[in-house]
C-alpha cells in the first residue's frame, strides 16, 4: 500500500491510512491516480514527530517556521483539479513540508517547487531523499514572482493565498495550462480557484472555500 516501511510494519498505521482513503472517497475524491499517490506517499514522514499519530487525520497540522501541512482532502482536491499527466512539468509555489510536492512528483514528469523559508526546503529535501523521490527541484525563491527561468509550465499549484488573482503566475502557463490557487483575504475564507489559460483568454472556476496562510513576497531571512 505504501512505500514507507514503517507503514508496512505498523498495522495501526495501515488502518489509519485505509480510513483516510475511505474518507476521501466519501468526500467525492474518485481519481484513482490521486488516491494511489496518497496511498504511496507516507504523510507521517512530512510532519513533526509530535504529530505523527495524527498524520492520517483529515486536518491541517503545524510544521516548522509557523507554517502548516494542508489537510489530505485539500491536497487531494487541489491535485485532482490540476488534471495531471505523466509528461507535465509542474511549478509549486510554497514547498512547506514537501508533502504536496511528493504527491505531484508521483503524477508528473518533473516538479519545481519554490519556498521562501530555507529551513523548510532543507527539511523537505531530506524527506524526498529518504523516500527516493528524485524528480523534484527545490529552490529558495520569492514564489509570488513564479520562476521565469523555466517557464512556461504545464501546471502551477499555489499553496498560499493570493489576495487577488495571481496574474504573474498565470502568465507563466503554457497555452492550455492550469493554475490552482486560493484567492482572497488572509483573515477570511478564501476561494480555491482554477485558472485555465486558453490563448489570450483565462477562464476561471470556483472550487470551494478554503483557508491558507498568505502568499508573502520576498525570501525569509535567517530561517
* pLDDT given at position 5: 47
Sorted by where each starts, the structural domains of the chain and their CATH numbers stand as 5-210 (3.40.50.150)
pLDDT for position 1:
41
Residues 16-65 have pLDDT tens digits of 999 999 999 999 999 999 999 999 999 999 999 999 999 999 999 999 99
For 84-116, how does the pLDDT look when each residue is reduced to its tens digit (9 = 90+)?
999 999 999 999 999 999 999 999 999 999 999
pLDDT tops 60 at residue 7: no
pTM: 0.93
**The pLDDT of residue 140 is above 50:** yes
Kindly indicate the confidence band of residue 4, based on its pLDDT and cuts at 50, 70 and 90.
low
Average pLDDT, the chain: 94
Catalytic residue ranges: 70
Please check whether residue 215 is in contact with residue 93, taking contact to mean a CB–CB distance below 8 angstroms. yes
- Confidence category of residue 186, pLDDT binned at 50, 70, 90: confident
Share of the chain above pLDDT 90, in %: 90
Amino acid at each position: 500500500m505504501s512505500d514507507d516501511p514503517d507503514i508496512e510494519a505498523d498495522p495501526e498505521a495501515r488502518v489509519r491510512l485505509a480510513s483516510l482513503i475511505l474518507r476521501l472517497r466519501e468526500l467525492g475524491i474518485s481519481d484513482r491516480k490521486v488516491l494511489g499517490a496518497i496511498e504511496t506517499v507516507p504523510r507521517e514522514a512530512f510532519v513533526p514527530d509530535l504529530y505523527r499519530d495524527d498524520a492520517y487525520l483529515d486536518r491541517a497540522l503545524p510544521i516548522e517556521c509557523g507554517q502548516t501541512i494542508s489537510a489530505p482532502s485539500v491536497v487531494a482536491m487541489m491535485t485532482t483539479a490540476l488534471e495531471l499527466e505523466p509528461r507535465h512539468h509542474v511549478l509549486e509555489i510554497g514547498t512547506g513540508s514537501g508533502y504536496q510536492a511528493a504527491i505531484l512528483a508521483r503524477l508528473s514528469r518533473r516538479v519545481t517547487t519554490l519556498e521562501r523559508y530555507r529551513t523548510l526546503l532543507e527539511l523537505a529535501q531530506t524527506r524526498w531523499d529518504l523516500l527516493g523521490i528524485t524528480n523534484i527541484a527545490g529552490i529558495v525563491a520569492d514564489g509570488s514572482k513564479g520562476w521565469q527561468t523555466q517557464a512556461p509550465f504545464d501546471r502551477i499549484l499555489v499553496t498560499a493565498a493570493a489576495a487577488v488573482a495571481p496574474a504573474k503566475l498565470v502568465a507563466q502557463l503554457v497555452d492550455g495550462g492550469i493554475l490552482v490557487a486560493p484567492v482572497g483575504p488572509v483573515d477570511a475564507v478564501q476561494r480555491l480557484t482554477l485558472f485555465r489559460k486558453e490563448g489570450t483568454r483565462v477562464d476561471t472556476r470556483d472550487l470551494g472555500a478554503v483557508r491558507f496562510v498568505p502568499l508573502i513576497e520576498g525570501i525569509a531571512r535567517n530561517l
